[in-house]
Structure 1
Amino acid sequence: MLEQFIFVGVLLVVALFLPIVLIGLAWLLRPKRPNPRKSEIYECGLQPHGENWVQFKAQYYIFALVFLIFDVEAVFLFPWALVYNWLPLYAVLEGVLFIALLAAALVYAWQKGALEWM
């Protein structure tokens, strides 16, 4: 029984320690030539115009989150739509419930103004 988990344990140890070892190795082998020019702020390779700190409106983040949520949920709908004709009734009802939940979330986001683009 324990033999089955040996491979999982080895994979877990490798997955935990390999990134640590590689990051440490990169830190040790990096070129260490500090230069004030390297620490300067740049804007697409040019000198920056205006202030260094620009604060974006929270509305952009909310719009991006709503897009991300619906984009991921659309990915879940594609496999369901491909096998729609061969699914039993309960699976079709679950898909319809999922679509109804998406529609309710879209209506809620619309009413709250999350879809307004400034």
Structure 2
Amino acid sequence: MHFNSLNEFNRDLKFLLKKYRTLNDDLEMVKAIINVRPSQQPPFSFTIDNLGIQTCVIKIKRMACKSLKGRGVNSGLRLIYAYFAEEKKIVFIELYHKNDKQNEDKQRILENFK
């Protein structure tokens, strides 16, 4: 599996790394899991529907973060990625904490994958 990320995702990550120092390691753990099972896995992740695009976009709702001690997978971090099965490619779109934003940036998804 090949992993890429949008420039906006890299900015999200840089911002969150100031607050959550283990985020790079946590993201590597997520990559290892996604590498084995890239499609949705309810209740931890699900496909974002009603975007009007062909691309499979998945939202991980339970991303573990070691910096958020005592919370584990209920850390509140959300990861949005696009999955291209035929190309065996994952593109990270967005990373945010649920207290900072209510929902994913659908405009960002549409601008990059329409």
TM-score by length of 2: 0.24
- The answer to which structure has the higher strand fraction is 2
- The answer to which structure has the higher helix fraction is 1
Larger radius of gyration: 1
TM-score by length of 1: 0.23
